[in-house]
Structure 1
């Protein structure tokens, strides 16, 4: 798709700002409703964050019992619930297959395209939008609302102003600045419409002792993590900057809100079973080797035990079941996979339209919600984009 400066869509009926998953889905809904659509993207190419996510396998959604899926979203106000009810995991899978992308479900319920990458799906999606008459304007950066209901842009040809019947804003959150999600749009909103940005699905900063350097890059598997009312098993990595990976991301909200993080390094063994094994004669074997031999404890967990619990007490069993993690808080916002905060749902009606600006809708990570990785993020971006696009189309038709 390409935008041509003399294209008749210089005065489109609908403008979508942001060509990530939420914006592309909003454009699809508006185009399918018969509206002429201009899709304005600040970056040179669309869906950069989606393409980046696809490098390690594009996790589209999560196949699991619906109550468990719904519980992953916090908060889950009526507008978000309505969006996910209209486009949940099954709908996301059908939609991707409709774009010619065969899927498979992994052992944990995560759903991926068989191609694993995002680029084949994106190409097919852009082709569908082209068929609907959607036009893409690259390097168009939204500058805000203008008098008379217009929307302004900085473009390669200079400042431009459009007066569409409806506008859908889908400019992402405030992480991964280099991919276009910089949160700069927040300056155009009233303070009461916004919840402060905070890192979500983010690693923890740890000031390691020099002894940990040889463990950087070591994966830690099979542990159970607990923080506040959030707990579960997950893999993570010891990195130079701290602790990173899905297991840490799953508890990052609770940790961000002040809960202590503890690790159960041996979740399949009880406290008594661990004590029985540790009581076996050690002889001249080091503590670390004894833990390896009698408990089959890997190098990563053993290193964390030494780092966070020295000097080690005589009774190690309680620490092996609940090792307190000493950290310096979440990594910086721009390193987060996603962001909490953004446009409050109280500032929107159930169709995701801004109460203060009739005809302007908001979707995707601009909204104040969060969820763990594992397919929940992309599904909600697609769902809210579709919901905002359909609501915008209905609002435009009614007028």
Structure 2
């Protein structure tokens, strides 16, 4: 029986192991941490966003310059296939108002338990506390509790993750073995040096705001934190903000400028500004605090400032705090099957590849899709290798 090793127990690695095992390989999955799926479980704490319910071309567009590389993989395992896969694991799904698809359990643990049961039932051997340290000739070397170990499979799939959330396993240490595109934070908040008067606002959400940076706009919630601003609305602008593009907030995106001016002109005698803003345009305390933080001295014509409030920031928060990372192993180092050009029989998948996408189901879907693609390609390669050896 042909043998295969998968390194990394995240979604991409688990999917690759699944496909290799189904193809008849004897598969060992090596994970450096004491358990697999740690980042998946953390992502599921706020509701596991599996994929998205939207037209394929729109879905593919979220991957921007990586879309041509990922297209065939996402055509094979896109949103509809991900839904079918999760349902086959016993997960009842629903689609939210924004098109995001979740398990009704709203967490990852039931899906992961069912998946691991399926993998073990299919013969996949999972070895934890087994950290890959590189190659010794054709062999894969590992540090394990029992000491250094070397494995010699016919094929291997690397699914080593990006370089954020190191405590969950994605520490980027594998990069020393490759010529990579530098890691950059993606889906990350921005750092802001708040004045002391902002402390009461920490933890408050900013709802119904529009954000603009570097020519790109986003509509979504974010949260004021002691470190800065975080949340989906900010994450969508990660590419621009990590390069320190200026950020502006539209605090009243549903009120056109002329109408806003008209509303603000009708101030009652004796009304404080805070009361006036609350009464006429329903500006909540968090938005009023931001207006005072970044807008003073306030101009007489307040409407343009409310529509484009400049936010002074210092770029992205540290890399390890990012939900995901850009950079990694470039597609030019791989062939169309995701096999390393300079190491035949070794494939790569998941977030260690150089692509990025916003949150909202795009990240997990692409990890699953590249894992499936690499796993199937590895199985085909193993079969051809066995055939040539037999001849």
TM-score (norm 1): 0.94
Quote the Cα distance in structure 1 between the aligned partners of 2:134 and 2:273: 62
Instruction: Work out the CA distance in 2 between the residues paired with 1:46 and 1:348.
Output: 26
Which residue of structure 2 lines up, in the alignment, with residue 81 of structure 1? 71
User: Does the 8 Å CA contact 1:79/1:352 hold for their aligned counterparts?
Assistant: no
Counterpart in the other structure of 1:366: 352
Please, which of 156, 169, 173 is the counterpart of residue 184 of structure 1?
173
> 3-state DSSP class of the match of 2:236?
helix
The aligned counterpart of 1:60 is 50
Give the 5 Å matches for 1:120-131.
Answer: 120-131=110-121
Q: Is the 8 A contact 2:61 2:67 kept in 1?
A: no
Alignment match of 2:160 (pick from 151, 167, 171): 171
Residue 144 (structure 1) aligns with: 134
Following superposition, the deviation at residue 284 of structure 1 comes to: 2.6
CA distance in 1, matches of 2:383, 2:226: 55
Question: Structure 1, residues 110-159: CA drift from partner, whole Å, max 9, x if none?
Answer: 11111111111011101111121100011000001211x11100011110
**1:28 pairs with 2:18:** yes
Alignment match, 1:248: 234
Give the match for residue 393 of structure 1: 379
Alignment partner of 1:151: what SS? Answer: strand
Q: Supply the RMSD in Å over aligned alpha carbons.
A: 1.2
Following superposition, the deviation at residue 283 of structure 1 comes to 2.2
The runs of at least 4 consecutive aligned structure 1 residues that moved more than 4 Å come to none
> SS state of the match for residue 27, structure 1?
helix
Structure 2 counterpart of 1:285: 271
Q: Contact 2:243/2:315 (CA < 8 Å) preserved in 1?
A: no
Question: 8 Å contact 2:16–2:376 — kept in the other structure?
Answer: yes
Structure 1 gap ranges (5+): 1-8
Instruction: Give the drift of 1:259.
Output: 2.7
Q: Does 1:158 align with 2:147?
A: yes
By how many angstroms is 1:75 displaced?
2.6
Which residue of structure 2 lines up, in the alignment, with residue 233 of structure 1? 219
Question: Which of 90, 97, 103 is matched with 1:107 structurally?
Answer: 97
CA contact (8 A) 1:153 1:161 kept: yes
Structure 2 residues without counterparts, runs of 5 or longer: 386-391
Gap change, CA 1:178 and 1:290, over 3 Å in 2:
same
Instruction: Indicate conservation of the 8 Å contact 2:155/2:378, yes or no.
Output: yes
Distance 1:17 1:72 in 2: 27
| Contact map agreement 1:79 1:349 (CA 8 A) in 2 | no
Residues of 2 paired with 1:217 and 1:88: CA distance?
35
CA contact (8 A) 1:58 1:116 kept: yes
Aligned with 2:293 (options 290, 300, 307): 307
Residue 258 of structure 1, CA deviation: 4.0
Distance in 2 (alpha carbons) for counterparts of 1:287 and 1:38: 66
Q: 1:224 aligns with which of 189, 210, 226?
A: 210
Note if contact 2:60-2:67 (Cα within 8 Å) is conserved in structure 1. Answer: no
> How many matched pairs?
385
